[in-house]
Amino acid sequence: MFKEEREIWKDIEGFEGLYQVSNMGRVRSLDREDAQGRRRKGRVLADKHNNRGYHTIDLCRDGNIEYKLIHRLVATAFLDKPDNLPQVNHKDENKENNAVSNLEWCSALYNDMYGTRNKRVAKALERPIYVVTSSGHRYFFESARKAAKLLGLDRRAMHRCLKDKHKHHHGYSFELAVKPCQA
């Protein structure tokens, strides 16, 4: 059988006596009295996702709300921070898994190069696209990288167009394409 892990709770730095974080990536409020003197029972809090897919939590102290990334709260509470490393890496590359056993402090370079990230980015860059001229002509390219090189365009600007953040780049618009069947 498997060994069941026991949940351990520690105070959140700066919110001692108000909130705790667990080694399993959960956050709870503690029993306390509110400003009107009423007793408030502590509970495990529901988290949210930010626009990058990380779990976040809203912590309130003295009427001020602070938004915190849960994986950073767990790492700060449970992991030593060697050499003052600035980032926290999810070892299994799953942003949903905030258990302390899945986290490690690391450098920005290590975090960027970790696991399958580069393969995933490269695959995304190799998606075929159509470059559409202002006159409406559509030109097929095997990838945004090839189109950028041949047309002398900024690939990042092309991707902003593909993600509907911009409409045009140097008079061109861009559309994702389906690769034609190879005979």
What pLDDT is attached to residue 124?
64
Q: How far apart are the C-alpha atoms of 113 and 134, rounded to whole Å? A: 38
What pLDDT is attached to residue 34?
79
- The pLDDT mean for the chain works out to 88
**Residue, of 124 and 91, whose pLDDT is higher:** 91
pLDDT-based confidence at residue 65 (cuts at 50, 70, 90): very high
Residue 182 has pLDDT above 70, yes or no: no
* CB-based contact 124:92 (threshold 8 Å): no
Residue 168 has pLDDT above 90, yes or no: no
Residue 2 has pLDDT above 70, yes or no: no
> How far from the centroid of its chain's Cα atoms is residue 74's Cα?
16
Greatest alpha-carbon span in the chain: 77
